């Protein structure tokens, strides 16, 4: 039995260590470790609550906006304030642009190099001038001997299946996508001031009244993104997919899915969000279940914290205590969140499956068409695994970009009718509690705030990658990534490309993962549950 440690795990956000045991060419067991602890909840205590939406954006530089919005929503809830309709729409727009940016970046720059052999692209025989140019550029790059980010990778590994011409096309689009992710971020900046770390979504709505110039600029930019997603991103996914359909069953995992839902509807009903709230369990898949905050517990049996009894985030308290790496005891800074005691996969595939089962018409059509195209009409269960996670992100990217155009039109219609309000004033109550349940591109995100004496008494986040990258719980049930790794065939233990594919399919973001709540004593918080 061979043991492989991958540390650092690269092309993700943050610091992740992966350990697997291999027997008979397959992963027999796996452990995921978050190796950085920062303790944001501790930092938030005692501060002006309105600062929280800025500070929590610094939890993650890849999805800051989602943290900012979840934080402001927890305060909207606590302060009993509702943004005007335009405030709701503009927050959706800033969030939407972040989703589009994140999915493009993930597909091309974080994930694609597990499927695209950059060196093989040199053997392509392109006819088109632009591809010839890219190939020449690549050639001179390789000949320079300074391979930069492409050095020492697994090029030539037998698991790379694309012909040279498709590899070259993908390399060309890797470069093009660098520009497109930046353009998507510009759309967040248009209404958010800058991206990363937007500045305009405090509790109560947004700060800025959009000008005619902003709106015109917006529609033009969104159209450009839509065209590129349809013509390049989705086209690339469809071009690459046939070569990797054999990988469809890999990395399935537990088969439980959670979505808190994202992109607020005018009704403020989380089940009517563009991507609605809900949960799916392997035991009765695809039956839709309610997803409730009070059903969440966190377990620290295998995390570097004192104690280990599973508790709801509203009452959870934990104290950091590093005791060294020992997979039989404690081996990570991540806690193990559970919904109704079950480990849950979160992310675009979870959202799209929940939306599909809930009958959201756009998601339903996109998924039905995709299933039909690969010869599995009416069988969403074939999407479980690494290929389904890729498809989920690509389809969601299109769905969000298309919706963003409509939100721009909705905003213009409101303003045309003389409704320009974007912000509702409020006063901070002496004591208040609130919850913001939302989605980051990487999955379900929750912020809990407890205000006392107009200051933050306690704050807690349960974030996407904590769900995915968590360790075993007290019942020794693996976390979703650990479970998804089990059974994965590894051809060459020295070059574990297949492991990278499974881990990358979850788009881990470790800065988000590690959180702790630490009241000065073992104080139990008393959150109301919305």
Q: Footprint of another protein on residues 484-503 (CB under 8 A)?
A: 494-496, 500
Stretch that binds another protein, among 3-11, 224-232, 262-270, 334-342 (CB under 8 A): 3-11
For residue 8, whether the previous peptide bond is cis, meaning omega lies within 30 degrees of 0, is: yes
Measured from the CB atom, the residue of 197 and 374 that comes closer to another protein is 197
d(CA 299, CA 310) in angstroms, rounded, equals 4
Residue of 80, 194, 306, 329 that binds another protein (CB under 8 A): 194
Our finding on whether 111 is near another protein (CB under 8 A) is no
* Contact between 15 and another protein per CB under 8 A: yes
Question: What is the three-state SS of 268-322?
Answer: CCHHHCCECCEEECHHHCCCEECCCHHHEEEECCCECECCCCCECCCCCCCCECC
Binding to another protein by residue 190, rule CB under 8 A? Answer: yes
If one asks whether residue 292 binds another protein (CB under 8 A), the answer comes out as: no
> Between residue 44 and residue 73, which ones bind another protein under the rule CB under 8 A?
47-48, 50-51, 54-55, 58-62, 64
The one among 39, 249, 308, 474 contacting another protein by CB under 8 A = 39
Under rule CB under 8 A, residue 122 binds another protein: no
Considering only 26, 207, 292, 364, the residue that binds another protein (CB under 8 A) is 207
Is residue 355 a contact residue for another protein (CB under 8 A)?
A: no
At which residue do the structure tokens 């969104």 appear? 222
One residue of 26, 28, 29, 42 binding another protein per CB under 8 A? 42
Instruction: Show contacts with another protein in window 298-317 (CB under 8 A).
Output: 304
Query: Which are the contacts of 519, defined by CB distance < 8 A and separation ≥ 6?
Result: 317, 458, 525
Question: CA 489, CA 283: separation in Å to the nearest integer?
Answer: 26
Using the minimum distance from each CB to another protein, give the nearer residue, 197 or 282: 197
Contact 383, 349 (CB under 8 A): yes
Is 320 near another protein (CB under 8 A)? yes
User: What is the x/- site pattern for another protein, positions 322-341, by CB under 8 A?
Assistant: x-xx----------------
- Strands 16-23 and 2-6: what pairing? antiparallel
**Cα(29)–Cα(318) distance, rounded to whole angstroms?**
28
Q: Contacts with another protein in 83-102 (CB under 8 A)?
A: 84, 87
Phi first, then psi: give them for residue 227, nearest 5 degrees.
-60, -40
| Binding status of residue 443 toward another protein by CB under 8 A | no
Out of 129, 151, 361, 378, point to the residue binding another protein (CB under 8 A): 151
* CA–CA gap between residue 256 and residue 342 (Å, rounded): 8
The least CB distance from residue 208 to another protein, in Å, is 3
Does residue 488 sit in helix, strand or coil?
coil
Category of 455 on φ-ψ map: left (φ > 0), alpha (ψ -120 to 50) or beta: beta
**Residue 409 sits in the site that holds another protein (CB under 8 A):** no
13 binds another protein (CB under 8 A): yes
Contact between 123 and 164 (Cβ < 8 Å): yes
Position 430 contacts another protein (CB under 8 A): no
282-286 long-range contacts, CB within 8 A, separation 24+? 282/254, 282/255, 282/256, 285/255, 285/381, 286/353, 286/356, 286/357, 286/380, 286/381
Q: How far is the CB of 517 from another protein (least distance, A)?
A: 12
Shortest separation between residue 338's beta carbon and another protein, angstroms: 25
Least distance from another protein to the Cβ atom of residue 155, Å: 8
Nearest to 390 by CA among 106, 69, 8, 28: 106
Closer CB to another protein, 344 or 500, in the complex: 500
- The token duo for 362 is 């756009």
Q: How far is the CB of 61 from another protein (least distance, A)?
A: 2
SS3 337: strand
**Binding-site member from 35, 327, 340, 414 for another protein (CB under 8 A):** 35
Q: Which stretch binds another protein (CB under 8 A): 151-159, 272-280, 337-345, 361-369?
A: 151-159
Q: How far is the CB of 131 from another protein (least distance, A)?
A: 12
242: contact with another protein by CB under 8 A: no
């Amino acid at each position: 039995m061979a043991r492989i440690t991958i540390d650092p795990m690269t092309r993700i956000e943050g610091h992740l260590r992966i350990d697997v045991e291999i027997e008979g060419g397959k992963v027999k067991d796996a452990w995921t470790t978050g190796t950085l602890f920062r303790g944001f909840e501790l930092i938030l205590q005692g501060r002006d609550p309105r600062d929280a939406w800025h500070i929590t954006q610094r939890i993650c530089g890849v999805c800051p906006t989602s943290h900012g919005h979840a934080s402001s929503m927890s305060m909207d809830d606590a302060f009993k304030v509702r943004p005007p309709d335009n405030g709701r729409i503009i927050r959706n727009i800033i969030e939407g642009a972040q989703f589009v940016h994140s999915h493009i970046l993930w597909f091309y720059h974080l994930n694609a190099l597990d499927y695209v052999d950059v060196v093989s692209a040199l053997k392509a025989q392109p006819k088109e001038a632009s591809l010839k140019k890219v190939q020449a550029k690549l050639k001179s790059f390789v000949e320079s001997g300074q391979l930069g980010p492409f050095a020492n990778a697994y090029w030539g590994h037998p698991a790379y299946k694309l012909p040279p011409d498709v590899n070259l096309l993908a390399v060309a689009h890797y470069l093009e996508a660098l520009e497109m992710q930046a353009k998507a971020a510009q759309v967040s900046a248009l209404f958010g001031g800058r991206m990363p770390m937007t500045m305009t979504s405090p509790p109560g709505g947004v700060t800025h009244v959009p000008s005619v110039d902003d709106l015109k600029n917006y529609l033009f930019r969104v159209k450009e993104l839509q065209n590129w997603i349809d013509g390049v991103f989705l086209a690339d996914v469809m071009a690459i997919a046939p070569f990797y359909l054999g990988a469809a069953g890999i990395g399935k995992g537990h088969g439980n899915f959670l979505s808190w839902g994202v992109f607020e509807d005018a009704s403020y009903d989380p089940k009517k969000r563009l991507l609605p709230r809900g949960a799916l369990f392997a035991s009765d898949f695809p039956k839709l279940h309610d997803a409730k905050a009070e059903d969440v517990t966190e377990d620290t049996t295998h995390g570097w914290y004192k104690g280990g009894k599973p508790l709801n985030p509203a009452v959870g308290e934990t104290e950091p205590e590093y005791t060294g790496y020992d997979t039989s005891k404690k081996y990570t800074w991540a806690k193990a969140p559970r919904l109704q005691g079950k480990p849950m996969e979160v992310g675009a595939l979870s959202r799209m499956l929940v939306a599909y089962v809930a009958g959201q018409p756009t998601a339903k059509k996109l998924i039905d068409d995709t299933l039909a195209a690969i010869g599995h009409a009416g069988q969403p269960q074939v999407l479980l695994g690494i290929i389904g996670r890729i498809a989920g992100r690509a389809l969601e990217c299109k769905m969000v970009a298309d919706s963003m155009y409509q939100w721009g039109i909705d905003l213009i219609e409101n303003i045309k009718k003389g409704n320009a309000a974007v912000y509702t004033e409020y006063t901070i109550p002496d004591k208040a509690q609130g919850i913001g349940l939302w989605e980051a591109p990487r999955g379900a995100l929750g912020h809990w705030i407890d205000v006392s004496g107009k200051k933050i008494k306690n704050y807690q986040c349960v974030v996407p990658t904590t769900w995915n990258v968590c360790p075993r719980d007290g019942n020794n049930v693996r976390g979703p990534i650990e479970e998804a790794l089990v059974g994965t065939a590894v051809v060459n233990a020295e070059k574990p490309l297949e492991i990278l594919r499974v881990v990358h399919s979850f788009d881990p973001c470790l800065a988000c993962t590690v959180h702790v709540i630490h009241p000065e004593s073992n104080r139990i918080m008393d959150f109301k549950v919305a």
